[in-house]
Amino acid sequence: MSVYSLSGYRRDSLLLVSVIELTVMAVHAAHRCMYLHRLVTACKSIQTHSRNRDVFEKLVIPCNRTFLTASVRSNENDGQSKDSLKLTPKQTQKQDLLLRRKRPLSPLERISSLLPQDVLSPEVMHLREQEQHEEDPQRCDPERVTDEGDLETHSGPERGEEPKAAAFHHAEGHVYPSLLGENLLTFGELLIAEHRRKKRVEFRKMFQLQKGAILQSSWGTIKHDDLVGQQAGKFLKTGRGAPIFFRRASLEDYVLYMKRGPAIAYPKDAANMLMMMDVTEGDCVLESGSGSGAMSLFLSRAVGSRGSVLSIEVRTDHHRRSVKNYERWRTSWALRRGQEWPNNVEFLNADLGTASSLLAGRGFHSVALDLIDPHLVLPTVLPHLHPGAVCAIYLANITQVIDLLEGLRCSALPVLCERIIEVPVRQWLVAPALQKDGQYCTRKAPNLGEDTSSEEESSADGEALFEPGFGNVPYIARPHPEQMSHTAFLVKLRKFVR
């Protein structure tokens, strides 16, 4: 369908006057088609103007895209009865929906409609809400009418229908299919917001969904209320048009982005300590040096609901911080999974070196120590460690490792130092090679003296515009410019029986 528009102020005014005149005409199809024919005649040989395209298309749709034929017939048969132009009930319903448009917007209202909602004043937002309440709630937007004349509707199953095999979530008028055990986002959950640009993370933040709160960023804002009822792992655009990816925070994310007191045991080191201690479900583990609660969370998941963890911290502020982080994660997990995180960690504020009574009558399958001077508490801990079990120690610098080994030599404790390791993690960038124009680079075979003129001619004809096949694109691979450096030394001690 050709779209005609006006160029220049004078012709633009003529078109707008014609559009307003057509809007207030009677519902009769003959009169409307006659004025459409007049509008097309006035718009001939005029350049395309995108501003009037939508208005013209909306006026063409009710006439079933036959406005020229209808106008000619109305001129030839001026005295023809109205019954000859009867429309079907479906077309009549379309016309009624398209005629119920809003009044013409003023220049100020047009400008305010282009602005994002987060920059509008409360008075303007209040006026918009009043206008929405005054409108008919069953009014359908003409832009949502498809080419076949059907309206897009989302309705649930009727009464008496058998439930389908797949489950559905209903949220804010939308229907989302869900997998078994999947839950939609709700208030109180911990989410990760990410914005990537050119395959690099420019923005990443962990936050908790709260009613009425707003996520602030340099790329725009998003209301927390807009996230509730959505599926996890979804992109949403801010008021500035920047896509933000939202997903639920994993335990690794939570440990890295939670509020800290002292330094945490990083996930890469905690995973190796769990392997050293061979922690399994149902174990009873002793931890000294709760810190911010990172290692306590990893141990809690490893021992499961049948196991237990005793975490001792000498500093009161660190003790409070670890308890708060632990409870916050348990609350978010319950909202996410619909079941409680095991409450299997007991936090105590005491000095392990002088509080041997806390361990009286207890035995442990493994021990994790994160202390400045771990060799001072080993005489208290080792009697409660099972024979052949492992004590894993987290030390920040090599001088602490030397002091530990010297303490073991002087005290003659029944332990063997099996390993002292450092866990490096090197992140890499691997991506297909691109040219400056955005096209993929292609591997070029060496010239062995064969005639390549035909290949050059074919590439000049446009065959190079197609994406190359599998194995024809070279890749670039290099270490990531931002690397995690040294975090800790891990010492593995094993108890033996004399």
Fold of the domain built from segment(s) 254-422: Rossmann fold (3.40.50)
C-alpha to C-alpha distance for 193 and 204, rounded to whole angstroms:
5
* Rounded (10°) CA dihedral 13, 18, 20, 22: -170
C-alpha to C-alpha distance for 34 and 21, rounded to whole angstroms:
12
Residue where the block lists tokens 């559009």: 19
Residue pair 291/372 in contact (Cβ under 8 Å)? The answer is: no
C-alpha to C-alpha distance for 251 and 267, rounded to whole angstroms:
9
C-alpha to C-alpha distance for 244 and 230, rounded to whole angstroms:
14
SS3 192: strand
Token pair, residue 99, equals 């005629």
174-178 vs 167-171, strand pairing mode: antiparallel
From first to last of its 498 residues, the chain has per-residue pLDDT tens of: 443 443 444 445 544 544 455 454 443 444 455 555 555 554 444 444 444 545 444 544 444 443 333 333 434 444 444 444 455 655 555 555 455 444 566 666 666 666 666 666 666 676 666 666 554 444 433 333 333 333 233 333 333 333 333 344 454 445 454 677 778 999 999 999 999 987 788 899 999 999 999 999 999 999 999 999 999 999 999 989 999 999 999 999 999 999 999 989 999 999 999 999 999 999 999 999 999 999 999 999 999 999 999 999 999 999 999 999 999 999 999 999 888 999 999 999 999 988 888 899 999 999 999 999 999 999 999 999 999 999 999 999 999 999 999 999 999 899 999 999 999 988 888 888 888 888 888 877 776 665 555 555 544 444 444 567 777 787 877 777 777 778 999 999 999 998
Which sign, positive or negative, has the C-alpha torsion 441, 447, 453, 454? negative
Distances (CA, A) of 270 to 307, 342, 368, 445, 488: 18, 19, 10, 48, 10
Task: Name the residue among 108, 14, 15 with its Cα closest to residue 55.
Answer: 15
CB atoms within 10 A of CB 124: 15
How much is the pLDDT for 10? 45
Task: Name the residue among 41, 36, 70 with its Cα closest to residue 56.
Answer: 36
How much is the pLDDT for 342? 94
Residue pair 420/491 in contact (Cβ under 8 Å)? The answer is: yes
Fold of the domain built from segment(s) 189-249: Vcp-like ATPase; Chain A, domain 2 (3.10.330)
How much is the pLDDT for 88? 60
Cβ-based neighbours of 361, under 8 Å, separated by 6 or more: none
How much is the pLDDT for 155? 33
C-alpha to C-alpha distance for 256 and 293, rounded to whole angstroms:
11
CB atoms within 10 A of CB 288: 24
How much is the pLDDT for 67? 36
What b/e string do you get for 10-24 counting C-beta neighbours within 10 Å, with b at 16 or more?
ebbeebeebbeebee
415-422 vs 345-349, strand pairing mode: unpaired
Residue where the block lists tokens 């030394």: 489
Token pair, residue 232, equals 């996890």
What are the residue ranges spanned by the domains of the chain?
189-249, 254-422
- Reported for 354-360, long-range contacts at CB under 8 A and 24+ positions apart, including other chains, are 355/312, 356/380, 358/310, 358/312, 359/286, 359/384
Backbone phi, psi, residue 106, to 5°: -75, 165
Token pair, residue 370, equals 């994160």
C-alpha to C-alpha distance for 284 and 309, rounded to whole angstroms:
6
How much is the pLDDT for 295? 97
Backbone phi, psi, residue 441, to 5°: -75, 155
Which amino acid belongs to residue 252? E
SS3 21: helix
Residue pair 239/393 in contact (Cβ under 8 Å)? The answer is: no
Q: Residue 248, exposed/middle/buried by CB under 10 A (0-12, 13-18, 19+)?
A: middle
Residue pair 353/374 in contact (Cβ under 8 Å)? The answer is: no
How much is the pLDDT for 390? 97
Residue pair 383/375 in contact (Cβ under 8 Å)? The answer is: no
Which amino acid belongs to residue 56? F
